[in-house]
Structure 1
Amino acid sequence: MTLSACGLHGLLNVDRWVPLVFFGRWIKWSDPTVVSHAALGLYTKTLIDIFSILACLLGFPPGAEASRRLRPIEEKYGDPTLMRFLIARSMDTDNASKMFVKWLKWRSSLVPNGFVADSEVPDQLEARKIFLQDLSKAGHPVLIVQACKHYPPEDHLQFKKFVVYLLDKTIASAIRGREVGNEKLIGILDFQNITYKNVDARGLITGFQFLQADFPERLAKCYVLNMPRFFVSVWRMVSSFIEKATLEKILIVTNEDEKKTFVEEIGEEAVPVEYCGKANLRAAQDVQVPSLEGWLMILRPPKFAGHQVFALTRNSFEYFDVIENS
């Protein structure tokens, strides 16, 4: 049995992580609050609900046949992936299911092979405008976009594939041993030295809309650096296409104090020298990550066997190792 935190947010009105009791084992945590077995039952019910809705949306016949045809999806995507869609839709199983089905169709259409190869986006890679750094203090990969090297693309399909390529690779770079499913990324948009020729409002909107609809709960934070005055009106227009939850994760750095905070929050070891850190810039295509084929967004649930669970508080979730009750 695997545990999902699907129902925890609605059941417990707490701001702190809570320890979970499961088959006599528990998570040691400072907050003495525990989740009852009724809560664990709610997790299972929520999963049953979402898979029932998925069966209807996908046109599967009811009963055993639906279970049989849903089994590959359940094995392929697991609790962590579903959890991200649920959080993105405020734990509403109907809306989360619709979002998930829409994503399945989008992914199979745009990325039929399961991943985007370098050979599919040569024009975008040639500019060497995107950089993938080491993990931040919080363990998030850092993706840097130097807008002065970008020009509005003629091939918009290739650009869309390039956005997927970047987000896929960035998430993959966060993997350390096994996929957890809640890997997030930090984005840095650097507008230093941009001119009107570099302005691509459509490209920005595409990137943020992909993050919202197709990579839900993947963005930890986005820093905007060196925004020139002439770009402010463009940003306002772009912002109108960005959901409130995503906008709240975007910080426009405007002064020296904010720059220091930016470096401190990410960590000097991940921030390049060009941005007052200690790292070297690494072009995204030069970074080696675990094989993207077959794994990406196909996150199998870990083998819990009563030893691992994950908890949810506010809008995030994370796995914890379970220790024996003593």
Structure 2
Amino acid sequence: MKREDSNNTADKLISCSSSNQEPPAKTNNNNNNNNKEVPNANDIIMLSTSCNTTTSTYQDRLKQASSEKEKQLRRSDVDDGNEVERTKLSLLRYLAERQDPSSKDVDDATLRRFLRARDLDVEKAAAMFVKYLKWRAAFVPKGYISASEIANEMEQNKMFLQGTDRQGRPVALVFGARHFQNKIGGLDEFKQIYIYTCRSACRMGGGQEKFVVIGDLEGWGYANSDIRGYLAALNILQDYYPERLGKLFIVHVPYVFMAVWKVVCPFIDTNTRKKIVFVENKNLKSTLLEDIDESQIPDIYGGKMPLVPIHET
């Protein structure tokens, strides 16, 4: 497959129209718990006149719109958030628990990622989070995907996880030319291996919430094209693992990939698109070195880190 090294190729790939992108889901304010109407987040926010409102004042005003149980709204224990974020995180927890009581078992770090993914819009974040809970209960009922469930996808040997970048974020590597549509497990098994990889990267990160991905398209052709799979993976990343992607390097990009990119690109939200970097072949190692130490760069790119298949991590 002939590679495209010109600056024009990268520019064409990263440029796309977002006019077809669907707007964020709206929160259904008619959801209820115990037949009680869920208060509008903006009404609750009005109870706090400024970001400097004290905890006691905030809680006193909240009592005006809450039942005895709702008065126990918890303040966030997030240490690194500012006052605005802490206040909105508390409001998000309040709305989420009203719509799904199981939300009380979710930590602040998880809720904060959903809040940031919706630019601190409490109602949108609540709708997004409740949607995630329903998806997890239906698609990942055990809370995890086992290797035995994705045996057909594992056989393609296309996903690897090893090393970290300069910020301590785990580095995953995906070979696009090794992917073929699964005739046995179908789209669901592809989704499962994607979830398996995301969870593995998150666990490997320790205290680091994000991970880095290198998508290698060397040898990619139309036989490897799987638009349904790409859109499914994108949906999982953006809707159910928000604020987990630190950066995506797309390397060895063939010209024929442009046709698929034009289809997928409009579905990529603005925050995710900012994290995507198309890398020219001649600048591959130097670009990776900006974010990843040579000792952690995969050896196939001139680094010193051997590849580790995802099932061995």
Question: Which stretches of structure 1, 4 residues or more, deviate above 3 A after TM superposition?
Answer: 42-45
Q: How far apart in 1 are the matches of 2:164 and 2:86?
A: 34
Shift of 1:43: 5.7
The answer to whether structure 1 residue 118 and structure 2 residue 151 are counterparts is no
- Greater share of helix residues, 1 or 2? 2
Shift of 1:47: 3.8
Q: Is the 8 A contact 1:205 1:242 kept in 2?
A: no
Equivalent AA in structure 2 for residue 101 of structure 1:
V
Shift of 1:258: 5.1
Equivalent AA in structure 1 for residue 258 of structure 2:
V
Structure 1 residues 205 and 259 mapped into 2: Cα distance closer, same or farther (>3 Å)? Answer: farther
Q: SS of the residue aligned with 1:240?
A: helix
In structure 1, stretches of 5+ residues that fail to align are 1-6, 13-26, 28-34, 59-69, 288-326
Q: Is the 8 A contact 1:263 1:276 kept in 2?
A: no
Shift of 1:232: 1.0
Shift of 1:261: 1.8
Relative contact order: is structure 1 or structure 2 higher (C-alpha 8 Å, sep ≥ 6)?
1
Q: Is the 8 A contact 2:85 2:120 kept in 1?
A: no
1:134-182 Cα deviation digits (max 9, x unpaired): 111110101100111110223111111111111011111111xxxx4x5
Structure 1 residues 46 and 129 mapped into 2: Cα distance closer, same or farther (>3 Å)? Answer: same
For residues 193-232 of structure 1, what are the structure 2 equivalents within 5 Å?
193-232=219-258
Which residue, out of 99, 109, 127, partners 2:138? Answer: 109
What residue number does 2:199 align with?
A: 168
Q: How far apart in 2 are the matches of 1:250 and 1:229?
A: 17
Q: How far apart in 2 are the matches of 1:43 and 1:269?
A: 37
In structure 2, stretches of 5+ residues that fail to align are 1-44, 53-78
Equivalent AA in structure 2 for residue 143 of structure 1:
A
Q: How far apart in 1 are the matches of 2:85 and 2:292?
A: 34
What residue number does 2:103 align with?
A: 73
Equivalent AA in structure 2 for residue 219 of structure 1:
L
What residue number does 1:269 align with?
A: 295
What residue number does 2:64 align with?
A: none
Q: How far apart in 1 are the matches of 2:281 and 2:86?
A: 48
Q: Is the 8 A contact 1:133 1:141 kept in 2?
A: yes
Q: How far apart in 1 are the matches of 2:247 and 2:211?
A: 7
Q: SS of the residue aligned with 1:239?
A: helix
The answer to whether structure 1 residue 278 and structure 2 residue 301 are counterparts is no
Q: How far apart in 2 are the matches of 1:275 and 1:47?
A: 41
1:200-236 Cα deviation digits (max 9, x unpaired): 2222222222111000000000000011011111112
The answer to whether structure 1 residue 100 and structure 2 residue 126 are counterparts is no
Question: Percent identity over the alignment?
Answer: 32
TM-score between the two structures when normalised by the length of structure 1: 0.67
Structure 1 residues 86 and 228 mapped into 2: Cα distance closer, same or farther (>3 Å)? Answer: same
Shift of 1:112: 0.5
Shift of 1:44: 5.6
Q: Is the 8 A contact 1:54 1:97 kept in 2?
A: yes
Q: Is the 8 A contact 1:253 1:259 kept in 2?
A: no
Q: SS of the residue aligned with 1:236?
A: helix
Shift of 1:256: 2.1
What residue number does 2:37 align with?
A: none
Q: SS of the residue aligned with 1:223?
A: strand
Q: How far apart in 2 are the matches of 1:202 and 1:266?
A: 31
1:259-309 Cα deviation digits (max 9, x unpaired): 41223312212211111211111101011xxxxxxxxxxxxxxxxxxxxxx
Structure 1 residues 208 and 185 mapped into 2: Cα distance closer, same or farther (>3 Å)? Answer: same
